[in-house]
A = this chain, B = another copy of it.
């Protein structure tokens, strides 16, 4: 089967946030992520474009989803990757039916993290440690940006990412649960007790956390270092903090 010029154009358009928002869709690529989307219960209505070799190895995929066989040339046209990887899925944005709960759990809040790879890696780290909710300031990279989706792997189906006006969100929620932020001169994270609930705020690595936002934070924490590096990568800092506090 051939894919039409209009289909190619449509899929390419989903590289842009505007189109993703208008269509409520996103693109994911490669066997690993597509298989996780196929198994996820909150990701219905998949359209899968795959090479013959992938289809032969994944006969079950032919079930409830729309499966379109494509040639390597066709895959190249619709792919956002430098090296297309067998299969591409057009998916509806993840559905989260239940209400967001922050009491009794640990959540992350991200302030102005613009690098898509960083956001994706943070989502994966959150998933590793069982963190269910991430609240992003509106100037963070879009969770459905293809680079975020690739870096997060299947974790976007398990970790809920919400975009909020972070300042007012914290104003409202810092009365409900304790809030923590990674700064340069806070309490030594390696000497703190483990938490059962709270919101951990992670800032942009070059600018740190916005002053206004810091005002809503109860506890300042620090990853102690011995060396001379000025800062840690935001995803690395998130991983270290979660590994000590969860």
A residues adjacent to B (C-beta < 8 A): 117, 121, 124-131, 151, 153-155, 158, 189-190, 223, 225-230, 232-233, 235-240, 243-244, 246
| B153 engages A121 (CB within 8 Å) | no
Q: Are B131 and A233 in contact, with the CB atoms below 8 A?
A: no
Copies of this chain in its oligomeric complex:
2
Given A223-B243, A243-B190, A243-B244, the answer on whether A127 and B236 have CB atoms closer than 8 Å is no
Question: Which 8 A-B residue pairings sit nearest by Cβ, starting from the closest?
Answer: A130-B226, A236-B239, A127-B229, A128-B225, A130-B227, A128-B229, A127-B227, A240-B243
Which chain B positions have C-beta within 8 A of A151?
233
Question: Which B residues are CB-close (under 8 A) to A158?
Answer: 227-229
Interface centre among A151, A225, A226, A229 (most CB of B within 10 A): A229
Partner of A228, one of B127, B238, B240, B243: B127
The answer to whether B225 touches A129, judged by C-beta atoms less than 8 angstroms apart, is yes
Question: Which one of B130, B153, B235 lies within 8 Å of A236 (CB-CB)?
Answer: B235
- Bound complex: CA A126 to CA B228 (Å): 10
Are A227 and B129 touching (Cβ within 8 A)? yes
The docked-state distance in angstroms from the alpha carbon of A55 to that of B186 is 36
- Whether the Cβ atoms of B232 and A130 lie closer than 8 Å is no
A229-B132 Cα distance, complex, nearest whole Å: 12
